[in-house]
């Protein structure tokens, strides 16, 4: 049996064969790699923050039917990514995968989508934490500027911890797993045993949308203007039940973002070919089960079955626990959620910094000379960590609404997930170029690979369209503007500089 040192030497040789030297500390075991992705998924963040959003558009059915639907589809995406991660265990994973499977242009597009998505998801996580920490002390809604201030205060220690080193970050991620599992158990058991409101079983599968048709306006920060999309497709703004249901799926789909962190941490993970792949798949699978248990308990205990009152409360989950439990237990749950969100933010900053560092290492971004620096005795990409953290605050100033931030992160990340999956399937169908086989990827889907790849691609295409519709129209025009800018940047500069030193493996 190989020793840990022998395994690490094998990992270093794998990395060298892919064209990179070992610069980051390889400290993480398989559990810690899983823990980072599980912490970023954070069922106590996404599912909690968007609980009222889902209820507003679909009612209880968004949890009983919507959550498992999204979970199954996301597992197809995660499994499709996992076998590619097994073949190419590098930091920044996704864009390197796209390079090997499709070339420089695909890699560059994937990288930018992934980087923007990473910044947006960190922004969404920390603004969520700010909203709920404020909710612990006051039941009233607060201004966006107040929430941004609290977000900044939350972010500072997260940055300091990440700059300090991967060992501390890994330990916090390990703690985060048990904190999340313990938090879900506490919420479920307290509401089941001590909850004052228990609705009939049929209520869990009922359709109770309370949202009106989206307003035909486009909001940018505090500025509103007539909706361009309304002029083109006025029927989209009608109160359509199927549209409302798929809009409500943002609650689950945003929760299932960030599990690519396991790939971004590959250069710091021991036995990376297997552990990075399992980290992605298990983080989604465990989150699916734990999240469903928690959401069913919360939905079951909606006070008096009043969906409208719960959905319209500024803090829907806190509204449920405060109307079911004693103040002591309600406040304890609020603290558990707040700490879980903060731990989720720590892991997201870790993943985000590694992605930007990796792309800068290949000179794919302005300021690469600085962003790729690794410094200090703990060998962390400290400049990338600081810069991306500041950008996560800036994107909140621009979007001025948490559901817009969550939509941007969901679309950007899933497009980045989808590109290498598509390229892998394309190459397999054409029987040309590289594609996943048992020889190339030790963690392999075998004969199920093509079918799961196809399901993943179709699902990503579906959610990309849905989450750019009103009330998330700003996302549509943001993605359009982003596409124009990136196209110009590629032709003016990047295509002459990016990836020219890349070896073919």
With residue 439 as reference, give the H or E element that holds it.
none
Q: Flag whether 15 is in a domain.
A: no
Q: Provide the residue-wise pLDDT of the chain in tens; the chain has 505 residues.
A: 777 766 777 777 877 787 776 767 677 788 888 998 999 899 998 899 889 989 998 999 999 999 999 999 999 999 999 999 999 988 777 989 999 999 989 999 999 999 999 898 898 889 888 888 888 887 676 677 888 899 999 999 999 998 887 778 888 888 999 999 999 999 999 999 999 999 999 999 999 888 766 666 666 656 677 778 777 777 666 667 888 898 899 899 989 998 998 988 888 888 888 899 999 999 999 999 999 999 999 999 999 999 999 999 988 999 999 999 999 999 999 999 999 999 999 988 988 888 888 888 888 788 888 888 887 666 788 889 999 999 998 888 766 556 677 788 889 999 999 999 999 999 999 999 999 999 999 999 999 999 999 999 999 999 998 888 777 777 888 888 888 988 998 888 888 877 665 433 3
Report residue 501 as tokens. 């030193």
Residue 8 falls inside a structural domain: no
Phi-psi label, residue 92: left if phi above 0, alpha if psi -120 to 50, beta otherwise: left
CB atoms within 10 A of CB 412: 26
- Enter the DSSP assignment of 125: H
Q: What DSSP letter does each residue of 188-222 carry, written as one string?
A: HHHHHHH-S----GGGGG-----PPPPPSEEEETT
Question: DSSP class of residue 491?
Answer: I
Consecutive H or E run containing 226:
strand 223-226
pLDDT of residue 153: 93
Q: Interior CA angle at 408 toward 227 and 493, to 5°? A: 100
User: Dihedral of CA 432/75/248/311: which sign?
Assistant: negative
3-class secondary structure, 223 = strand
Round to whole Å and give the CA distance between 420 and 432: 15
> What local confidence, expressed as pLDDT, does residue 504 receive?
38
Which ranges of 103-165 would DSSP assign to H, the alpha helix? Answer: 104-137, 144-164
User: Please, are residues 273 and 86 in contact by the beta-carbon 8 Å criterion?
Assistant: yes
- With beta carbons less than 8 A apart as the criterion, state whether 176 and 343 touch: yes
Under a CB-based contact definition with an 8 Å cutoff, are residues 46 and 56 in contact? no
Residues 206, 223: Cα–Cα separation, whole Å: 37
| C-alpha–C-alpha distance, residues 25 and 354, integer Å | 12
Domain membership of residue 504 (yes or no) is no
User: Can you give the residue range of the structural domain that contains 419?
Assistant: 26-497
Q: Residue 165 — φ and ψ, nearest 5°?
A: 155, 160
Transcribe 374-401 into DSSP letters.
-BTTTTB-HHHHHHHHHHHHHHHHHH-S
Residue 440, C-beta contacts closer than 8 angstroms, at least 6 positions apart: 87, 434
Does residue 13 form part of some domain? no
The count of C-alpha atoms lying within 13 angstroms of the C-alpha of 315, restricted to the half-sphere facing its C-beta, is 26
Instruction: Give Cβ neighbours of residue 49 (< 8 Å, ≥ 6 apart).
Output: 124, 128, 131, 132, 402, 406
What CATH number has the domain bearing residue 229? Answer: 1.20.1740.10
Residue 350 lies in a domain: yes
* Residues β-bridged to residue 8: none
438 located within any domain: yes
Q: DSSP secondary-structure letter at 315?
A: S
pLDDT of residue 214: 67
Give domain status of residue 2, yes or no.
no
- Is 180 domain-assigned? yes
Q: How many domains does the chain have?
A: 1
**No. of helices (H) and no. of strands (E), the chain:** 24, 2
Place of tokens 């300091």: 160
């Amino acid at each position: 049996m190989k020793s840990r040192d022998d395994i690490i030497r094998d990992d270093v040789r794998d990395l060298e064969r892919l064209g990179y030297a070992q610069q980051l500390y390889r400290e993480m075991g398989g559990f810690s790699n899983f823990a980072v992705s599980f912490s970023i998924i954070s069922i106590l963040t996404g599912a909690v923050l968007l609980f009222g959003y889902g209820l507003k558009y679909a009612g209880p059915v968004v949890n009983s039917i919507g959550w498992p639907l999204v979970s199954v589809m996301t597992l197809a995406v995660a499994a499709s990514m996992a076998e590619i991660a097994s073949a190419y265990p590098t930091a920044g994973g996704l864009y390197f995968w796209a390079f090997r499977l499709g070339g420089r242009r695909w890699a560059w597009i994937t990288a930018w989508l992934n980087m923007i998505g990473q910044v947006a998801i960190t922004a969404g996580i920390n603004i969520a934490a700010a909203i709920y920490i404020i909710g612990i002390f006051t039941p009233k809604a607060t201004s966006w500027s107040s929430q941004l201030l609290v977000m900044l205060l939350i972010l500072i220690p997260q940055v300091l911890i990440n700059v300090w080193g991967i060992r501390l970050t890994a330990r916090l991620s390990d703690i985060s797993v048990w904190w999340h599992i313990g938090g879900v158990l506490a919420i479920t058991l307290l509401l089941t045993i001590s909850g004052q409101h228990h609705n009939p079983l049929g209520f869990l599968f009922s359709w109770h949308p309370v949202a009106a048709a989206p307003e035909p306006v486009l909001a940018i920060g505090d500025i509103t203007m007539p909706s361009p999309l309304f002029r083109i497709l006025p029927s989209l703004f009608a109160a359509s039940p199927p549209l409302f249901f798929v809009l409500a799926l943002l609650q689950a789909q945003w929760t299932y973002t960030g599990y690519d962190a396991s790939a971004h941490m590959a250069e710091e993970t021991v036995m990376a070919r297997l552990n990075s792949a399992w980290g992605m798949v298990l983080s989604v699978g465990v989150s699916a089960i734990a999240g469903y248990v928690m959401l069913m308990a919360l939905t079951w205990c909606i006070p008096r079955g009043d969906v409208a009152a719960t959905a319209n409360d500024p803090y829907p989950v806190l509204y449920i626990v405060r109307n079911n439990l004693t103040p002591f237990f309600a406040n304890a749950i609020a603290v558990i959620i707040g700490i879980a969100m903060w731990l989720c933010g720590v892991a997201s900053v870790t993943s985000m910094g590694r992605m930007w560092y990796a792309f800068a290492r290949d000179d794919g971004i302005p300021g690469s000379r600085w962003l790729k620096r690794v410094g200090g005795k703990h060998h962390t990409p400290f400049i990338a960590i600081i810069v991306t953290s500041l950008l996560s605050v800036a994107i909140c100033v621009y979007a001025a609404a948490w559901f817009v931030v969550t939509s941007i992160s969901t679309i950007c990340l899933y497009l980045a997930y989808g590109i290498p999956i598509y390229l892998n399937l394309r190459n397999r169908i054409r029987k040309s170029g590289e594609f996943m086989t048992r020889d190339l990827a030790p963690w392999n889907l075998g004969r199920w690979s093509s079918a799961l790849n196809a399901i993943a691609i179709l699902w990503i295409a579906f959610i990309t369209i849905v989450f750019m519709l009103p009330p998330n129209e700003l996302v549509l025009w943001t993605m359009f503007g982003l596409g124009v800018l990136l196209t110009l940047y590629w032709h003016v500069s990047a295509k002459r500089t990016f990836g020219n030193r890349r070896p073919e493996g």
